[in-house]
């Protein structure tokens, strides 16, 4: 009986040790890395990243959203491990306004914003009092205004840069009426506007080809590069580092160049 008790005790120790090792290493209990993206190009690129990662036995669950708010909320609430849909100025404004602990870990791709029109084929055709659409969020508005200035239709106050608002328009020769709108809705409302600044992902979702259909596009060296974001406490996590490596791989860069023909630009 004594020998039997010793044997059972030894077996229990082995099982306990095995369970302890499993818990420490995480392993299969962690499941796929959940990454939030916006529908469209971000989703397409992340699916390619997922494909590259799978070759290495690394699982990614791609979760698509249709707005610019929920991916950060889901990340903050722990429903996602990372997200890829926003540039750094937007991330910084978002976390400051909502008190979230989210951080950039790497750059990804740039979507040059463009000016589009269903009425005109050239900005020279703009008329006095025409309505001009632009995104209504805190980084989309200055970005659009900077693009309008680059196109020569307005002048902004000196030095306003990424803080520009409609109130900072110093010269508006045609007395254009600027209409802030939800970014995702602008393509649907373009018929009611003379021109509008539209983010590349929403332009593409609406069937437009940015390099062909835009009247003006941001230059390739635009500072509005998108980023991978995660909770600040997880920014040095090994799985997040792997996500960065898979994303910034040569295979993904080639996919971007071949798939989007210059409408989407890799940052690495």
Q: Facing residues of 114 across strands?
A: 198, 217
**In a domain? residue 94:** yes
Out of 117-121, 172-176, 201-205, 235-239, pick the least confident: 201-205
Same domain for 127 and 210, yes or no, is: yes
The structure tokens listed for 40 are 């469209």
Same domain for 85 and 161, yes or no, is: no
DSSP H/E element including 236: none
Same domain for 86 and 156, yes or no, is: no
Q: In what order do the strands lie in the sheet with 33-38?
A: 60-65, 33-38, 82-87, 225-231, 102-110, 265-266
pLDDT score at 220: 67
Model confidence at 172, in pLDDT bands (50, 70, 90)? Answer: very high
**In a domain? residue 152:** yes
Same domain for 168 and 192, yes or no, is: yes
Same domain for 211 and 235, yes or no, is: no
Same domain for 67 and 144, yes or no, is: no
Dist CA 14 CA 35 (whole Å): 37
Out of 43-57, 120-134, 192-206, 237-251, pick the least confident: 192-206
Same domain for 175 and 80, yes or no, is: no
**Residue with tokens 């397409």, as numbered in its chain:** 44
Model confidence at 203, in pLDDT bands (50, 70, 90)? Answer: very high
Residue 243's CATH number: 3.40.190.10
**In a domain? residue 139:** yes
Dist CA 81 CA 32 (whole Å): 9
Name the residue range of residue 123's domain: 114-217
How many structural domains comprise the chain?
2
- Beta strand spans in 16-99 (E): 33-38, 60-65, 82-87
Same domain for 60 and 123, yes or no, is: no
- With 0-12 CB in 10 A as exposed, 13-18 as middle and 19+ as buried, what is 112? buried
**In a domain? residue 171:** yes
pLDDT score at 223: 73
**In a domain? residue 242:** yes
58-109 confidence digits (pLDDT tens): 999 999 999 999 999 999 999 999 999 999 988 998 999 999 999 999 999 9
Cα Rg of the chain (Å, integer): 24
**In a domain? residue 74:** yes
Model confidence at 200, in pLDDT bands (50, 70, 90)? Answer: confident
Dist CA 199 CA 140 (whole Å): 9
Say whether pLDDT at 23 is over 60: no
Same domain for 106 and 235, yes or no, is: yes
Alpha carbon 174 to its chain's center: 34
Q: Facing residues of 155 across strands?
A: 171
Dist CA 33 CA 109 (whole Å): 20
Same domain for 118 and 211, yes or no, is: yes
Same domain for 123 and 198, yes or no, is: yes
| Dihedral angle computed from the Cα positions of residues 9, 10, 12 and 16, in that order, rounded to the nearest 10 degrees | 140
Same domain for 183 and 137, yes or no, is: yes
The structure tokens listed for 11 are 């077996």
**In a domain? residue 10:** no
Say whether pLDDT at 197 is over 70: yes
Model confidence at 2, in pLDDT bands (50, 70, 90)? Answer: very low
**In a domain? residue 209:** yes
Q: What's the chain's length in residues?
A: 268
Dist CA 118 CA 193 (whole Å): 8
Dist CA 265 CA 268 (whole Å): 9
């Amino acid at each position: 009986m004594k020998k039997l008790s010793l044997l059972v005790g030894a077996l229990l120790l082995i099982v306990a040790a095995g369970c302890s090792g499993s818990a420490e290493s995480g392993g299969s209990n962690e499941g796929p890395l959940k990454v939030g993206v916006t529908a469209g190009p971000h989703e397409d690129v992340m699916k390619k990243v997922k494909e590259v990662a799978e070759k290495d036995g690394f699982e990614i669950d791609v979760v698509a959203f249709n707005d610019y708010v929920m991916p950060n909320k889901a990340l903050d609430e722990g429903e996602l491990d990372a997200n890829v849909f926003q540039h750094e100025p937007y991330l910084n404004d978002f976390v400051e306004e909502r008190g979230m602990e989210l951080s950039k870990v790497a750059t990804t791709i740039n979507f040059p914003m463009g000016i589009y029109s269903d009425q005109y084929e050239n900005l020279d055709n703009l008329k006095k009092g025409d309505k001009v659409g632009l995104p209504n969020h805190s980084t989309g508005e200055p970005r659009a205004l900077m693009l309008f200035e680059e196109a020569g239709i307005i002048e902004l106050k000196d030095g306003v840069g990424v803080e520009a608002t409609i109130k900072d328009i110093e010269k508006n020769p045609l007395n254009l009426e600027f209409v802030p709108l939800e970014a995702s809705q602008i393509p649907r409302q373009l018929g009611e506007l003379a021109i509008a600044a539209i983010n590349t992902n929403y332009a593409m979702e609406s069937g437009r080809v940015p390099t062909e259909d835009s009247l003006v596009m941001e230059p390739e060296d635009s500072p509005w590069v998108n980023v991978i974001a995660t909770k600040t406490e997880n920014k040095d996590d090994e799985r997040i580092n792997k996500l960065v490596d898979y994303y910034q791989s040569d295979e993904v860069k080639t996919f971007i160049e071949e798939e989007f023909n210059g409408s989407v630009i890799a940052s690495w």
